Every structure is written in C-alpha cells, then in structure tokens.
Amino acid sequence: MDISVTTPGDYAVLSPQGRLTAVGAPMLRKNVDRLLEEGSTRIVIDLSQTSFVDSSGLGALIGGLKAARVAGATSASRPPPPR
C-alpha cells in the first residue's frame, strides 16, 4: 500500500492507495501523527483509491481521528466511490 500526502491549501490530504490492512495501518497512523507534529490542523483522509479496509485499517482511521481531536485539529474522510 502506498500513501500520498498533499497540501492543496490550508489542509493536508492523505490518500491511501490499495488495501488498508494490518500491513498499511501503521503507515497511515505514522503519517497522521507526523502531520499533527508538524502543526497541521486540518487533515482529510481520501479513501477514493482505497479498495479494501479491514479492522486494522478501520482502527487506524479511528485512531487518527482521536489523535487529531486530542491535538485540537479536525479530520475528515472522503469515502470511496460506490462500487
């Protein structure tokens, strides 16, 4: 799984590509944590290129949301397209 990080404005976008599973979940959390440490206050997780999310991936998404709230930031996710 790859995760691209872009900053198209005053927010950061994390875009996991492929399957978000136990293998990629720690990578997602590390990216969220890094953005928060760098001072990002608005983070979007774009799931439009994510083909599958297992329980570990869901845990990483929820953990990222909680970490953002604790840091005083906001986060949102963009759902995948309908299949």
Domains and CATH numbers, the chain: 2-78 (3.30.750.24)
- Any residues with CB less than 8 A from the CB of 68 and at least 6 apart, and which? 32, 36, 43, 74, 75
Dihedral sign of CA atoms 42, 76, 56, 22 in order: negative
Q: How far is Cα 18 from Cα 38, in angstroms, rounded to an integer?
A: 26
pLDDT tens readout for residues 7-49: 998 999 999 999 999 999 999 999 999 999 999 999 999 999 9
- Asked whether residue 1 carries a pLDDT value surpassing 80, the answer given is yes
* Cα–Cα nearest to 36, from 8, 78, 68: 68
* Cα–Cα nearest to 32, from 23, 45, 20, 21: 45
